[in-house]
Structure 1
Amino acid sequence: MAPGPDFRHELTIKRSRFITVLRRVEDETMARELVTDLRREFYDARHHCSAFAIGADRSVQRSNDDGEPSGTAGVPMLDALVKRETRPGASPASAAADLSDVCAVVVRYFGGILLGAGGLVRAYSESVSAALDVAPLVRRERLRLFTIHVPHAEAGRLENELRSAGYVMTGNEYDAVNTHVGLAMADADAVITAAVERLASLSAGRWHLEGAGTDWVDTAMDSGR
């Protein structure tokens, strides 16, 4: 999921309303906060079913049927998340089921028509899948982080040069003299050497890369399919 407000999508299936809410989450506490928030907002709904997958290897996976027959809501919702193939437009060989750090809650208002077990499974799965079709997603990569200390007057030019060259910018910090420009790149000797050489060329050797560890970084926005 892209950072920012929750994403919402609604389907009506045999007069029942299925309101899917997606939120980017970093841990179980954040996922459970979404459920709590929606129970408060949709206090009169019959069900608030949930599923989430968290972590680079999606090691944390949970689902909850919230009163629906066992296995008819939370599990199909979780399947819709963890089996989602991202990277729209990529070749089939490069597509991957790698969606993570997202919580889905489906709020159901019962419409008076029983769907049966099979109908519920399809409805909850379709609700999450339809939301993911149009939700804003981002690609994340584990990258090396660096900082460049640059006089304020020259920081804008440096950032423009680095962005034009395809580097991922991670935000700036400031002190009385310098702007501390943050960027990220692949942890590969050739990539880092090229960055060092480019920086030396731009600054006549005055600016240098300072390592700042590694982290998962948002690298590109993908709209839903």
Structure 2
Amino acid sequence: MVARFTLVELSTARQEIKKSRFIAVAGPVADEAAARDFIAARSDPAASHNCWAWRFGQSYRFNDDGEPSGTAGKPILAAIDGQGLDGVAVVVTRWFGGVLLGSGGLMRAYGGTAAQCLREAAKVALIETVPATVTCGFGDLTLVQARLGAVPGVQLRDQAFTDTGAVLAVSAPKAEIDGVTRLVMDLTSGRAVIRWDE
């Protein structure tokens, strides 16, 4: 499996190429709507072009914003994919300097500014998690909560109480399912029930 990453925070890069100024802004996005909002917020209406691309899972979009077809948005998307990123949007804004760059020059300028911005950005690995419910009695609850909370990547999302104990909604990295199951069963001597929503 290929490791995927996303950005920790906003990143910016600037280049001047043949009197045209290029500024790339990249940031993490949670979904397609957030990507559209990111692009709208970072586009400069006074600029010549605001070209962009975003990827979220299998969904992606790109736009050349008036530049010749395939010379801006597609190279920006290639920069995102080339660095194994997901959940990321990039806007590259250009202020025209009076010198035509040609198709190849535009592709290098947009793709290169985006790639520079993404290379310099702080990244974090995306880890696939699986949700589960853990049903346990009151006698086991505190220990189960404490030990699950100490396992890297395991998150306690919610809890609901019953007459005899609690139902915990948790998530864990997919690679840790067997270990987490064994831990819960060992801690409770098999009294708890854990169900994975795979």
Provide TM-score, normalisation by structure 1: 0.66
Q: Unpaired segments of 5 or more residues in structure 1?
A: 87-98, 215-225
Distance 1:201 1:171 in 2: 19
Matched, 1:45 2:47: yes
Q: Can you list the C-alpha shifts for 1:153-190, whole angstroms capped at 9, x where unaligned? A: 44552134433xxxx21342134674725132437xxx
Q: Unpaired segments of 5 or more residues in structure 2?
A: none
Q: Which has the higher Rg, Structure 1 or Structure 2?
A: 2
Distance 1:113 1:63 in 2: 24
User: Are residues 16 and 54 of structure 1, via their aligned partners in 2, closer, same or farther at CA, if it must alter by over 3 Å?
Assistant: same
Contact 1:24 1:103 in 2 (8 A): yes
Matched, 1:104 2:107: no
Structure 2 partner of 1:12: 15
- 1:23: how far off? 3.4
Residue from 168, 176, 181 that aligns with 1:196: 181
Figure out how many residues of one structure are paired with residues of the other and give that number.
187
The amino acid that maps onto 1:139 is A
Provide TM-score, normalisation by structure 2: 0.73
Contact 2:154 2:170 in 1 (8 A): yes
- 1:65: how far off? 1.1
Identity of aligned residues (%): 30
The amino acid that maps onto 1:195 is V
Matched, 1:123 2:123: no
Distance 1:53 1:128 in 2: 14
Contact 1:13 1:123 in 2 (8 A): no
Q: Can you list the C-alpha shifts for 1:100-135, whole angstroms capped at 9, x where unaligned? A: 332221122334444333222111111111122122
